[in-house]
Chains A and B, each alone.
Chain A
Amino acid sequence: MSEIILLRNREIENLRNYDVYVEHGGFEALKKTLQMDPEDVITEVKDSNLRGRGGAGFPTGVKWNFMPREDVTKYVAVNADESEPGTFKDREIMEENPYQLLEGSLICAYAVGAELVYIYIRGEYWEIAEILDESIERMRAEGLLGQDILGSGFSCDMHVHIGAGAYICGEETALLNSLEGKRGQPRIKPPFPAQSGLYSKPTVVNNVETLANVPWIMEHGADAFKAIGTEGGAGTKIFSVSGCVNKPGNYELPLGITFRELFEIAGGITDGNQVKGILPAGASAAILPATDEILDMPLDYESLKPYGTGLGSASVIVLDETVDMAWAASKMVQFFAHESCGQCTPCREGTYWLERLYERIDHGDLDPEDVERMDSVAAQMQGKCICALGEFAVNPVMATIKHFREDYDAAVAAAQGSGDIPVMPETTPAGD
């Protein structure tokens, strides 16, 4: 059994209950931290090589270290927007082990000198927001939030802010705008949130899973964390595995695991089929063809870079041989067209035109030039947008055309009457 840092709820019943959490060492890390110099807390997290679990994989301690040391108002914003297709990991942490997230967030606030923490959670996690609200209320009652926490002189409070259905609000500066009551549209960077974030004040934005690691790191030390995983990725990672596997779900595993091992753990490919394509990070990162080389690659924040993709939030969508990749790309194109915030012309117009082009597959009138048009619209979007969504939207198009051109050719052939349009299976899975 490998080390479990985050999904301890799988082993400890009712961990979401305050007393159970405390019984199992909860808030010991906080107590220890409050005795330390905040500077040493930042150093410990930096030394642990913890990297952001929200997508970009940025070193967490380095991010905290960017925060100014002056005694000015600062904020922590917890990114609980979790809207990347295929991602359902932060949800389990918040539903089943909420205090570990809150403890980690509080340690972060202490380290950077913030007195207010906002948890920005997507609106579709309404019930989970209620769990967080109740947990925060309990912490206030226990003196773990508010004035002079545990006699340390440190004061801090936390609030939950519920989003309202916009994927783009997961982008950290869009999140901050949304929290300020504006449209959730990304800001031009720089300035980065550490310089000018919420209400133009220095702000740390971290993902739920990132922060939930922090109590463990403070308790066991940076070296123990680094001892798990690889050079390119310390610690464990929750892999949200969805799509064509027999046991889709969250799996917390040390970084460095391979796709082959992961699929085995997730019950193997549905119906004994062959895996065809792997989306390592939801719809955002480019799809990988399931070659032996890819299947046996140790997964961390560096290993997938040479393949033009990344581990991101490790929301692994498995697509088997029955899936038409042109169809899969069209689903992702629809997603990005729906979620573009519209402020950059290349992203707004590009996703619109891509969606129109992909509709032709469904309508059975895709012609050979359309495939080139898709590629060229995508190419024109690259590098011209304010935020990464514009880049994400290009990936499903270019990567599927590159690796699975035959699926587009089949759609063209079908349109010309020389083949059948591939359709998705009509059956629903067994459910319960």
Chain B
Amino acid sequence: MALMTTRRADIEHHLAKYPDKRSAVMPLLYIAQEEYGHITQEAIAEIAEIIDVDVTHIRGLIGFYTMYHDKPKGRHLLYICTDLPCAVRGAEAFSEQIQEHLGIGHGDTTADGMFTLENVMCIGACHRAPVMQVDFRFNYNGANWEDLTFERAKQQIEDLREAQQTE
């Protein structure tokens, strides 16, 4: 279904924030991503029409910004920071443990389609390494994903998987 049908109020809220509707492209792309799991070609066409730009412009933006995805991903996007300050506190080894636990490499999606894992640059929680985010959040499914140990991360990942399966 078209975004303007399912998310009209949200879209209008964002359009009203700017004197130029083209500025609303970023929030609109997030809405599409929330709605469909990734940004579909139909959504790109619809957004292009709403803000009156060319679809190639929007494709360019999706390529430029790392948080937008035009390919299907796992149900949850797991970020692990492996940038320098976290890495000196063991984050690279931590990421490898998580990868092993999930049976996937960095950038991959689990076979059940539940998780996509990405090693990322600094996410502003270096004092709480090792640190993860679930769908861009430090707090998710009633748990905090900072100051992790492998054991706690594993537990939280399994809790999350379970919460989704029983949903």
Name A's B-contacting residues (CB within 8 A).
82-88, 91, 116, 122-127, 159, 161-167, 178-184, 199, 240-244, 248-250, 282-283, 317, 319, 323, 328, 331-332, 335, 338-339, 341, 424-432
Known contacts: A87-B124, A88-B125, A429-B129. The answer to whether A127 contacts B138 by CB under 8 A is yes
Q: Are B121 and A335 in contact, with the CB atoms below 8 A?
A: yes
Question: Contacts of B155 on A, CB cut-off 8 Å?
Answer: none
Q: How many residues of B contact A (CB 8 A)?
A: 56
Q: Are A123 and B67 in contact, with the CB atoms below 8 A?
A: yes
Q: Are B65 and A180 in contact, with the CB atoms below 8 A?
A: no
Q: Are B121 and A167 in contact, with the CB atoms below 8 A?
A: yes
Question: Contacts of B142 on A, CB cut-off 8 Å?
Answer: none
Does any Cβ of A come within 8 Å of B152's Cβ? Answer: yes
Name B's A-contacting residues (CB within 8 A).
17-20, 22-27, 29-30, 51, 53, 60-61, 64-68, 79, 83-85, 87-94, 97, 120-130, 133, 135-139, 147-150, 152
Q: How far apart sit A167 and B122, CA to CA, in the bound complex (Å)?
A: 9
Q: Are B149 and A83 in contact, with the CB atoms below 8 A?
A: no
* CB < 8 Å neighbour of B25 from A88, A125, A181: A181
**Among B85, B125, B126, B150, which residue has the most Cβ atoms of chain A within 10 A?**
B85
Q: Are A88 and B126 in contact, with the CB atoms below 8 A?
A: yes
Question: Contacts of B68 on A, CB cut-off 8 Å?
Answer: 164-165
Q: Are B30 and A162 in contact, with the CB atoms below 8 A?
A: yes
Q: Are A248 and B30 in contact, with the CB atoms below 8 A?
A: no
**Among A167, A181, A240, which residue has the most Cβ atoms of chain B within 10 A?**
A181
Q: How far apart sit A335 and B66, CA to CA, in the bound complex (Å)?
A: 13
* CB < 8 Å neighbour of A165 from B51, B65, B92: B65
Question: Contacts of B133 on A, CB cut-off 8 Å?
Answer: 124
Q: How far apart sit A429 and B137, CA to CA, in the bound complex (Å)?
A: 22
* CB < 8 Å neighbour of A331 from B27, B51, B87: B87
Question: Contacts of A341 on B, CB cut-off 8 Å?
Answer: 64
Report the minimal beta-carbon distance from A130 to chain B, rounded to whole angstroms: 10
Q: Are A161 and B124 in contact, with the CB atoms below 8 A?
A: no
Q: How far apart sit A207 and B63, CA to CA, in the bound complex (Å)?
A: 27
Q: How far apart sit A323 and B92, CA to CA, in the bound complex (Å)?
A: 14
* CB < 8 Å neighbour of B65 from A91, A184, A283, A426: A184
Residue of B nearest to A331 (CB): B84
Give me 23 A-to-B residue pairs in the complex whose CB atoms sit less than 8 angstroms apart, sorted by A's number.
A83-B124, A86-B85, A86-B126, A87-B122, A124-B67, A124-B120, A127-B139, A161-B17, A164-B67, A165-B67, A178-B26, A180-B23, A181-B26, A240-B126, A243-B89, A248-B128, A282-B122, A319-B88, A328-B84, A335-B84, A341-B64, A425-B90, A431-B152
Q: How far apart sit A123 and B33, CA to CA, in the bound complex (Å)?
A: 13
Q: How far apart sit A242 and B124, CA to CA, in the bound complex (Å)?
A: 11
Report the minimal beta-carbon distance from A118 to chain B, rounded to whole angstroms: 8
Q: A84-B122, A163-B65, A427-B93 are in contact. List 9 more A-B contacts (CB 8 A).
A: A86-B122, A87-B126, A88-B125, A164-B68, A181-B23, A240-B127, A248-B126, A331-B84, A428-B97
Question: Contacts of A167 on B, CB cut-off 8 Å?
Answer: 121
Q: How far apart sit A127 and B60, CA to CA, in the bound complex (Å)?
A: 27
